[in-house]
Structures are given as structure tokens and as C-alpha cells.
Structure 1
Amino acid sequence: RAAAQPVAEQASARSAAALAALRSNVTAKEIQKLARKHERRARAGRATKGLLVLGIVAGGAYAAWRWWDKQANPDWLVEPPVATEVGDERSPLGTVDGSDRAVLDPEVEAKQAEAEGDVPGHDDRA
């Protein structure tokens, strides 16, 4: 009985559609156009569902790979790089042209002045 239910619903829907087509001016071309439209929508729905499932599977595989990688290489097991020591024998960095005075970019100078609290053109006495 449960298996016959969808068949009966389909038969009644088709007979109602046939009666409506006979009573009105619905052409076979319009019916075919509507059938193609339903078929396209069903195909697009299946494709969307397939892409969604594929995305979920890919996301799960990526999460599993990240978990597995974390288990194989935990943070506490990875050794930090060897510290490098800077000796005093090196001279301080200078400018490219050899002059002693370092010329800074105006934006850098403005940011340094702002950080020191000396903002040119800004009056704190409001």
C-alpha cells in the first residue's frame, strides 16, 4: 500500500494536467517547455547537492589531514631555530651614501613624532 501511494499521486497529477490541457488553450509546445524547465531545475538541484556534498567531503578531508599533521608534529616536539648572537665587532648601520645622518621618510618621521607625543600642527590646549 505504501508503494502504491506515490504512483497514485503521480497518476492523479497527470490526469489533472491532461484535463486542464484539454479544457484550455495549452499547446503541446508549452507543455514540453514546462517539462524541460522542470527537468533543468531538477538537474541544477542535483548538481548543487553534489557540489555541496563534495565541499563537505573536501572540508572534512582537509580537517582530518590538519589533525593528523598536528598529531605527527606537535608544537612541543618541534625544536626552535638556533639563536644567533650579534657581536660587537660590527659597525652600526649607516646610510647608502656614507653620510652619518640617516634621512627618514616623512611618514616615518611623522609617526615617530606622534609616538613621542610631539605632533606638529596639533595643539593640545583645547
Structure 2
Amino acid sequence: AALAALRGQVSAREIERLTRRHERRARAGRLAKRLAVLGVLAAGAVAVWKWWDKQANPDWLVEPPAATEVPDRAPLASVDGSGQTSLDPEVQAKQAEAESEGREERG
């Protein structure tokens, strides 16, 4: 580039323009490098903070939230069939029908 300038093949204006372009690219490169380093540092800081918080407050140490109130409703029927009185009338009818069919097959 210097020889071309000495021979007069490149004007001083073109040299200045190239110099500015190189400086601008160098600045942009430094900025990108700084942003990358800051991003890595920020991600590392978040990771360390989360690890530290987990060490200071393990899951077994944190109290569960207060229980929410459940609306009152009829108790569920027991598995052994002792709670059949609280069943829906349609269900009771189907159970009675199934029991009567079972008796007919046996007898």
C-alpha cells in the first residue's frame, strides 16, 4: 500500500478512507469482544448466584406454602362399599342392576 501511494496509484483521500474504515472495524471488534466478555461474566454471575441461593435455601428447608381452602362437598364413597348412601342415584341404580344380574347368573 505504501509503494502504491508513493507511485501515485492511490490518492491521499483513498488512504484516509481506508484508515478510517480500519479504525472503525477495530473499534467495532473491540466493542464486540467487550460485550462477549461482559455476557460471559453476567452468565457466570447468575449461575453462581443460583448455586449460592440453592446452598443457602435447600428445597427441604423451605416451608411449603399455606394450604388453600377447599369447598365443602360430600365425602367420597369408600372402596369397600360402606359409603354407598352418598352415591349419585344413577350410580346406585346401575349398581343395583349389576347386582341383580349377578344373582340371576348364580341362581
TM-score bracket, normalised by the shorter chain, equals 0.5 to 0.7
Q: Which has the higher helix share?
A: 2
- Segments of structure 2 that go 5 or more residues without pairing to the other structure are 74-107
- Segments of structure 1 that go 5 or more residues without pairing to the other structure are 1-16, 91-126
Which structure is larger by alpha-carbon Rg, 1 or 2?
2
Instruction: Please give the TM-score of this superposition, normalised by the length of structure 2.
Output: 0.61
Q: Deviations over 1:76-107 (max 9, x none)?
A: 1112123345363x8xxxxxxxxxxxxxxxxx
Structure-2 change in CA distance of 1:25 and 1:83 (3 Å): same
Corresponding residue to 2:28 among 16, 34, 44: 44
Q: Which has the higher contact order (CA 8 A, sep 6+)?
A: 2
Are residues 1:74 and 2:58 paired? yes
Structure-2 change in CA distance of 1:33 and 1:87 (3 Å): closer
Q: Determine the C-alpha separation between the residues in 2 that align with 1:74 and 1:61.
A: 19
- Sequence identity percentage: 73
Offset at residue 20 of structure 1 (A): 1.5
Q: Determine the C-alpha separation between the residues in 2 that align with 1:18 and 1:84.
A: 81
The number of residues matched between the two structures is: 73
Structure-2 change in CA distance of 1:22 and 1:74 (3 Å): same
Aligned pairs for 1:21-60 within 5 A: 21-60=5-44
Q: Determine the C-alpha separation between the residues in 1 that align with 2:14 and 2:64.
A: 72
Q: Deviations over 1:37-82 (max 9, x none)?
A: 0000001000000000001011101111111011111111112123
Structure-2 change in CA distance of 1:84 and 1:29 (3 Å): closer
Corresponding residue to 2:49 among 57, 60, 65: 65
